[in-house]
Amino acid sequence: MTTRLLIIGGSDAGISAGLRARELDSSCEVTIVLADRFPNYSICGLPFYLSGEVPDWHWLAHRTAEDIAREGIHLLLDTTARAIDPANHLVAILDETGKPRQLPYDRLVIATGAVPVRPPIPGIDLPGVFLLRSMQDSFAVHAYLDTHAPRSAVIVGGGYIGVEMADALTRRGLAVTLVEHGAWVLKTVDESLGGRVGAELRHHGVEVATGITVERIAQAGPRLHVMGTEGFGATADLVLVAVSVRPQTELAEAAGIATGERQAIRVTRAMKTNVPDIYAAGDCVETWHRLLGAPTYLPLGTTAHKQGRVAGENAVGGHREFAGTLGTQVVKVFEAVVARTGLRENEAKEAGFDPLTVEARAWDHKVYYPGAHETHIRLTGDRQTGRLLGAQMVGRYQSEVAKRIDIFATALFHGMHVDELNDLDLSYTPPLSSPWDPVQMSAQAWVKQRHQAE
């Protein structure tokens, strides 16, 4: 009997679910309900479109609508899911003409993603103030850049989108002020590395204001005035608010689907919800953390792809489980790259480990070969067992930071001890590394400090 698989949401998780289902069961009827016209577009690529480094937004498509249709998937674009009726296996929608309809399903995958947090800042709805999460958001910012030719911008929020957009708008020729409520930018890494990212921003002309809570945005003639604590004030032509995201789960909750961490949909590792025949995946769900052995909320594109694939497989009779996340992340800021995986020291303590963190410096390749740069690595391991718990890195764009954090991530995935990193058979040639890779040098520094402390 043909399985009718209905998917709500057509970004990373939704498309991955549909493709995997069709791979395993070519008779499966897959329909994807998408609220806009942009299936499987790279939201992570929006800053590079706005910077001009990616000149055509069409290039951000992982797959075109035509590519997806060729896989036997039916796309309902500009279609809004309004309600889920689990008892009757129906989803109420408004189609692209605004006409209400009911769609039946045998299995349902919810992949509604996340939406930007709108902090309660007076003036956030003024013209020239933007949030950035969707293709439509990027078109609005792009149009404003083209039509208003702003010369300055204030960015509220020093997370990944904030620092990437500081880079993007600086490349567009704007004078940028970045405002962060924490003590340093990129709070996903420790202060010593976040401080280096702040220094990189300042080196490229970005004004960085930390320890500031934005309290109000007001019209100042044709411009916008941003006011905050500690007497902060800045006037600009454009304001971008990028403080956080939250899971978009209202539709699921209304159908009786349980939520957990940060109101994300609670799922098993098979991506099942508490409601029969309904799965969920991506930025709207909790994520199983491989080190913590518990759910958390970590919205990442890589994770969404994997979870969607698991949901799609199981929706057509499979028995796969999501292997878990380690929170592996990387971001480029001008000429610097910052990355992390696993747990930081404070996170490891909260999880019951006995962490020791060592910060090491190593050249990215042999110093005698031109162009060598120092890479800063913070490595965290368990003092009692020697188990690797996490790593953070900052280096230059050319220094293979992303691939080196992947070595740590692979080691974490397989439960390796810090000292075992030295046994890895890693490649070496003077223009690219050293006989002991920086990953291994940091491991040696950790082992030495642990031994000295005994």
Catalytic residues, by residue number, are: 44
Tokens of 307: 């979870």
Pairing of strands 29-33, 73-76: parallel
In whole angstroms, give the CA distance from residue 386 to residue 169: 44
